Amino acid sequence: MRRLAPREALVDTLARLARVFKVSTLVILRRLFDAGQIAQTVFRDAYATELRRLADLRQASGGDFYRTTTARVSRRFGRALVESTLEGPHSLS
């Protein structure tokens, strides 16, 4: 499997490697910099661009995980789960 493609645009490389390694594009960007594959100026510019892109994604409509959790998990079950977690480990004997 190819990891780095010489003529591939950096944005495409980030997206592809993020999917392959199941990490964020920011992690991939940092690892490329640490491995000496991109210069510091390229890293800084690309990092700022990725932060803006990710901020724009967060603002796009798509729901809020914490608000929709109550619709998927009943209040009673959620309360029982939290109480059980706060009680600590349970013995099965």
pLDDT tens per residue, range 5-29: 778 899 999 999 999 999 999 999 9
Coil, strand or helix: which one is 92?
A: coil
Spatial distance between the Cα atoms of 13 and 3, rounded to a whole number of angstroms: 9
In the chain, domain spans: 10-59
Q: Check residue 90 and give its pLDDT.
A: 66
Give the rounded percent of residues in the chain with a pLDDT score beyond 90: 46
Q: What percent of the chain has pLDDT over 70?
A: 88
Closest CA to 10 of 34, 40, 46: 46
Q: Is 36 left (phi over 0), alpha (psi -120 to 50) or beta?
A: left
Higher pLDDT, 5 or 41: 41
pLDDT at 79 over 60: yes
**What pLDDT does 19 receive?**
92
